Amino acid sequence: MGVCDMAEREYRCKVKVFDVTTGQNIVLLNKEQAVEEDIYISDRVIIKHGDVEVTCIVDLSNVLVKNDEIGVFQESAEKLGVKPGDEVIICHAQHPVSVDYIKKKMDGKELTAEEINTIIKEAVENRLSDVELASLMTTMYIRELSIDETVALTNAVVATGSQLNLNRHPILDKHCSGGVAGNRTTMVVVPIIAAAGLYIPKTSSRSITSASGTADTMEVLANVQFGIDEMKEIVYKHHGCIVWGGAINLATVDDKLIKIRHPLRLDPKGVLLASILGKKKSVGAEYVVIDIPVGRGSKIENVEDAKALAKDFINVGSRLGMHIECFISDGSDPIGEGIGPALECADVLKVLQNDGPTDLRDKSLQIAGELLELCGKVPKGAGFDMAADILRSGKAFEKMKGIIEAQGGDPKITPETLPIGTKRHEVIADKDGRVQHVDNRLINKIARAAGAPKDHGSGVLLHCEHGDKVTKGDILFEIIAEHESKLEFAVKSLETMNPIELERVIIGKFAGNGYFSKY
C-alpha cells in the first residue's frame, strides 16, 4: 500500500504545520492545485519525506494553505519528522481495501478473519476516515456479527496493542456491562481475590456518560496510569492492581471504535463482546465473571436480552480460551450511597472496613465468590463464605492499602479525609411514602451536572433506596459540588429531571409535585 498509483502524478509542496491533534493522518491541500492533480476531499495521498512515507486523508482549503503548500497536522508531522518549510513529495495512493470489505458486510455477507484483520489494521494505521468507521459501526449494528466474526474481531483487537504476560496461573478478571450508578464492586473484589493469593490484574475504564468510572474512582486513592512493565511489577508484588486501561496500550483500536460508537449511541453486540473480551485476553485472563445488571434504568432492561448476551459471552470466551461465568444482577437502582469519584471511594473504604452500604458489600462478595469457585480455589457453593471471611478478617483491607501504596497513593487515607466537596444542596421529601424507583440515568446526570467525574469531590449522596419508607421532611439525597456555580447548575437540572419515584408519584419538580429543596 505504500506506493504511488501513478508516479508521474507526484508533486512537491512546502510544509505548513498545524499544532492540532485530529486523531487521524489528515493533510490539508490547496483546493485549486489539488483538483488540477485530480485529488479530492477524502482521497488518500502518500506523503514522502526522506525515507518516511505516510498515507493521509485529504482535506482542502484555498485559505489555510496556498498553492504549493501542504498543511500537516500533529500526528502526521510527528510520523514524517517534518518542520515548517520542509519539502515533501505528494502522490496518489490506493484506496483502502477495507472499504470493499465494509461494503461486503453491508450486503449481508460474512467477513473472513483475514478481512476483519485488515479492517482493524487499517483503522489503527489511521487509513480509514471517520465516515468509513461510522459506516462500519452502523453496518455491524444492523448486520450482527456471527460468533466466528466476533472471535476474529476480538483477536484482531488484541493484536493491536500490548499484552500482559505474567507467567502465573490462574489469572482472574471481572467486568460489569454497566449502567448502574455507584457500582464500584471492582474495588472490593480485587483486594479480596488478591488476598486469597490469586492474581487479578484489573484494567478499568474512565467514565463516558456516568458520574464515575472505576478508574476515576480509584484515581482519588492512587495513580492509575502505568506502563505495562510497571503494572506487571505491582501485580507480582501484590497479586492485583486497579489501573486505567487507556494508559497501557491494551487493545489500541478499541479507543477508535468507542469514539465512533459513543456519539451514535450504537453498541453492536459483536463489537461490545470484542471490546470487553479483547481487554481480558490482553491481560491473560483465564477465569472471568461478567456482571450483567438488568432492570429499569440500566443499560439492559430485559432479562431475556441479558441471558442472550450471557450466552454469547460464554461462547466467545470459550473460543478464546477463557472460562466465563455471567452474573445477572438487579440493575434497577444505584449501588451504594455515593455517586461520584470521592463519594464512591468512601463507600468502598467503609465496606473494606466491614461497614458501609450492604448492597455494595453483598454484590462484591457474590462476584468474588463466583471467581473463587470458577477457578477451583473452593468447591461450588463455598465461594461467598470464603470471600466474606477474607473481608471480615481485614485481609482485603490490608491488601487494598498495599495496592494503593504500590500505585503511589496514601494507604492511610480514610473516608473522613477524602476530598469531598463542601457545597451541598439537600432534596427533602414533602410527603410520607415509599421509594418505588431511583433512576440510574438521572442520578448520573445530576452528579455530572455537579461536576463529576472531573471534580472528584462532586456528585450525589443518596439517603434512600428502593423500598425505603420516608417521612415528610426526610432527606432523599444531597447534591455535592466543589464549586457554587456547578451546584446551582445541578439544582437547576432538577426542574427537568425526576430521579426518584415515591409511591408511583414522580418526585423531582419544585412545583409541589413530590419534594421541595433547601440549601
Active site residues: 267
C-alpha cell at 108: 449481508
Distance CA 151, CA 113 (A): 9
3-state secondary structure of 515: strand
Element containing residue 188 per DSSP (H, E): helix 186-195
Q: Is 414 exposed, middle or buried (0-12, 13-18, 19+ CB in 10 A)?
A: exposed
- Residue 367 contacts residue 290 (beta carbons within 8 Å): no
Residue 341: asked if its preceding bond is cis (omega within 30°), the reply is no
Q: What are phi and psi of 506, to 5 degrees?
A: -70, 125
Report the distance separating Cα 228 and Cα 163, nearest Å. Answer: 8
Helix-helix angle 186-195:383-393, to 10 degrees: 90
Integer angstrom CA distances of residue 137 from 86, 97, 349:
38, 17, 40
What is the C-alpha separation between 216 and 134, in angstroms, rounded?
Answer: 28
Whether the CB-CB separation of 310 and 329 falls below 8 Å is answered with: no
Query: One-letter amino acid identity for 462?
Result: L
Please give the backbone phi and psi of residue 157, each rounded to the nearest 5 degrees, phi first: -65, -45
Please choose, from the candidates 462, 444, 475, the residue with its C-alpha nearest in 3D space to the C-alpha of residue 356.
Answer: 462
Q: Write out 378-390 in H/E/C secondary structure.
A: CCCCCHHHHHHHH
- Termini Cα distance of the chain: 64
Give φ, ψ of 71 to 5 degrees: -85, 120
**What is the dihedral sign for C-alpha 340, 341, 342, 345?**
positive
CB atoms within 10 A of CB 443: 25
CB atoms under 10 Å from CB of 8, counted, come to: 6
The values of phi and psi at residue 330, to 5°, are -75, 115
Q: Which residues pair with 71 in a beta bridge?
A: 16, 28
| H/E element, 100 | helix 98-106
Cβ atoms of 398 and 313 within 8 Å: the answer is: no
